[in-house]
Structure 1
Amino acid sequence: MTTGGDFQNYGPVLFYYDLYPERIESYGKVKKVITKRGTFALKEAAMEDGEREWFTHVIQRLSEIGFHQVVPLYPTKYGDYTVKQGSKVYYLMPWFPSSERAAPFQDEVLIDYLAKIHSLTVKEQDFLTEVADQSFQYLMGRWESRQFEMERFTELAEQRTYMAPFELTYLSHFHQTMRMAEDAKRSLNSWHEGCKREKRYRSVLCHGKVSRSHLLYSQSGEGHLFNFEKAVLDTPVRDLAMYFRKAAHKSSWKMDDGFALLKRYEKQFPLLYEERELLISYLSFPEPIFNAVDAYQSNSKLSQIEVVHVLESRLSAMKRIRDFCEHLSRFPLAGEQQPGDSAPPHNEGHI
């Protein structure tokens, strides 16, 4: 719905595009702007100056290297692609009809697009043992610190005469949760040893905030990705882990679905052996469960029933993830590189 505040807040931004809205509808941080010149999407973001430049570069570069399924940006009348207004940043895009409704086969299309972006931008990095060691030690140290925090929470809960329902639920799954954390650390160690043995490390352009909600469809039915605000050069596992962790939180998600999508991804971009180990480690670490404890300790406004429901939902999702990772480690996927094999051929790209 449109309010006087909408025109007051977004009018100065739309002035940079010579747009004068007849109506503005809110869809979270995206505003549907209806004008005599057409309908547009105005996205609100939080980016520093350097991040704004990188964001614009990513969108333009993707099109240049052959990925045309990205939602384009409209330039202002001054040639800029973002507008800074106070502490916020805005950018303008075409409005896609599917912004208002879900489309079928989103998971398949999303996986295809991630694989395509990764294959177009992949680059073998100069391997440096010190860099690999630093990355390994940082993540291992962070995970061990998180485990210590959760062990401390457990000790305090056990000292209570009467534990809250949330604490009882967490404690009943504590040992299983810690086993998942140890599994994650073992896989992280396998990744580290594999990198040192093979002396290789690949980086790709990662979307950085993978979500089905960031996939829109045009009237012709073609999917387009948007929200590259968190795009970064990193291991392809970053995007995959984010996708699978979110997917597993759907109660309807099945392990076979995950394998089918991962195989679909690998038809375009096969993972290296050590990248698979890193994927298992990222997925296995029970950070969602630990985050539920953090929220509980921060005096959330949720009731005991609500916080227990959140925790139980995350415990169920992590069980699905654990089963997925166990099968992934036992049964190598087609095209997977085993320790000692040479890296598969690929088109070395850049971003």
Structure 2
Amino acid sequence: MSNHLQQITPILRQYGVTPHFVESFGKVQRVYSDKGVFALKRITPTDGTDFIRHVQYLYQKGYNRIVPIFPTLDGRYAIMHQGSLYYLMPWLPNEVKEDVDERQKQMFRELARLHTLSVREVSIDKEEKREHYENTVHEWEKENELLVGFLEQCESKWYMSPFELLFCLYYHDISQALRFSMDKLKQWFEKTKDDEKARAVISHGKLSTEHFILDDRGYGYFSNFEESRQGSPMNDLLPYLSRTLETYPKKCEECIDWLYTYFKFFPLREDELNLFLSYFAHPGPFLRTVEDYYKNPHKHERKAVQRLQRHYWQLKNTEYIVMRIDEIERQKKLEKEAQEGAQS
């Protein structure tokens, strides 16, 4: 009997499952057994089992596009064994039967359904929101001061370093992105500063096509809910889009298509969209690279230049999507006002 098989046999015994053969895929074991093929997932105890509570809540709300977690014979959904937690799921084939873009759209449709069925109004403290807003504005103003100060320092030199020259070429676009982020943040706050409620959803926490598994009928199911939590829909949308746009310059029309597929089933309110655009457009990675260089100007020049260029490309990729969304929403607003004017 292999080591993996020896390790998991006492765990699976608690499910009434006898393993015959096991394949290891990192933290996941594919188990061939007397009762079919299963996936046994190992997580650290610090991750806890809060995610199981979220999964159960989604089931109660009628959302069933989650890879199910099987209970043990005595009703537990996770087992502590030799310092790790384990839980058991069916093994889905995950065969790609359509192009990648269609799979992404399917994932965004399911994400919208997940958010729709889990959405709830939660109470918020107006003073805490004001404090968060003021702290964010203060932080972004300091970032703008860093940009201006570094620009002046670079332009005062007879000979700039490659990093400094590239920064000066990019400065205008970065300062515009920061100004746009600030404007959208102010619009969000002005519209919501007196609100005492906000929408919250169960967010997946690690949105990825790797965690969106297809069964043999082509239906998609979310897996890997260990980082799920209650919060803003942006907790799923922003990290996924940011990772997607870490690439060479491109006009990602499919990203806009994915987002509007999501908005079709879970439309963001005007204030939510303003906050989404504010955080999405913010040039955080670029600014952190500039700050790091400012503090360590003679360290790894070539690597610093490469990082700056990559983050600039990401910013321009993001800028295209942000401007398209802003244009689409502005056009929709004008059409709505025209229709209301024609009816009055």
Indicate whether 1:189 and 2:186 are aligned: yes
* 1:201 counterpart SS class: strand
For 2:156 and 2:15, locate their aligned partners in 1 and report how far apart those are by CA, in whole Å: 62
Tell me how far 1:38 sits from its aligned partner: 1.9
Question: Alpha-carbon deviations, 1:170-202, whole Å to 9, x = none?
Answer: 665355334423432332222112212566521
Aligned to 2:93: 97
1:210–1:46 CA distance, 2 compared to 1 (3 A): same
Higher mean alpha-carbon deviation, 310-319 vs 159-168, is at 159-168
Higher mean alpha-carbon deviation, 321-330 vs 285-294, is at 285-294
Aligned to 1:39: 37
Question: Alpha-carbon deviations, 1:80-109, whole Å to 9, x = none?
Answer: 112234553322111111179996422111
Question: Alpha-carbon deviations, 1:234-282, whole Å to 9, x = none?
Answer: 1222222223223323559634323322222222222111111111111
For 2:238 and 2:204, locate their aligned partners in 1 and report how far apart those are by CA, in whole Å: 12
> Which letter does structure 2 place at the counterpart of 1:45?
I
Specify every segment of 5 or more residues in structure 1 that has no aligned partner in the other structure, as ranges: 339-351
CA RMSD of aligned residues (A): 4.1
For 1:159 and 1:26, locate their aligned partners in 2 and report how far apart those are by CA, in whole Å: 58
Q: Mapping of 1:2-13 within 5 angstroms?
A: 4-7=2-5, 9-13=7-11
Question: Alpha-carbon deviations, 1:288-338, whole Å to 9, x = none?
Answer: 4356679999x9xxx987775555333212211112212322331787799
Aligned to 2:286: 289
Indicate whether 1:70 and 2:66 are aligned: yes
Aligned to 1:25: 23
1:102–1:39 CA distance, 2 compared to 1 (3 A): farther
Aligned residues, how many?
Answer: 331
Percent identity reads 28
Aligned to 1:262: 259
- As a proportion of its length, which structure holds more helix? 2
Q: Report the TM-score when normalising by structure 2.
A: 0.77
> Which letter does structure 1 place at the counterpart of 2:27?
K
Given that residues 73 and 81 in structure 1 are in contact (C-alpha distance below 8 angstroms), is that contact kept between their aligned partners in structure 2?
A: yes
1:173–1:253 CA distance, 2 compared to 1 (3 A): closer
Given that residues 52 and 82 in structure 1 are in contact (C-alpha distance below 8 angstroms), is that contact kept between their aligned partners in structure 2?
A: no
For 1:151 and 1:249, locate their aligned partners in 2 and report how far apart those are by CA, in whole Å: 26
Higher mean alpha-carbon deviation, 308-317 vs 141-150, is at 141-150
Aligned to 2:236: 239
Higher mean alpha-carbon deviation, 306-315 vs 185-194, is at 306-315
Given that residues 204 and 235 in structure 1 are in contact (C-alpha distance below 8 angstroms), is that contact kept between their aligned partners in structure 2?
A: yes
1:262–1:161 CA distance, 2 compared to 1 (3 A): same
For 1:165 and 1:121, locate their aligned partners in 2 and report how far apart those are by CA, in whole Å: 50
> Which letter does structure 1 place at the counterpart of 2:88?
L
For 2:115 and 2:321, locate their aligned partners in 1 and report how far apart those are by CA, in whole Å: 23
Indicate whether 1:176 and 2:173 are aligned: yes
* 2:227 counterpart SS class: coil
Alignment counterpart, residue 121 of structure 1, candidates 115, 118, 125: 118
Aligned to 1:61: 57
Given that residues 195 and 201 in structure 1 are in contact (C-alpha distance below 8 angstroms), is that contact kept between their aligned partners in structure 2?
A: no
Tell me how far 1:69 sits from its aligned partner: 0.7
* 1:119 counterpart SS class: helix
Specify every segment of 5 or more residues in structure 2 that has no aligned partner in the other structure, as ranges: 336-344
> Which letter does structure 2 place at the counterpart of 1:43?
K
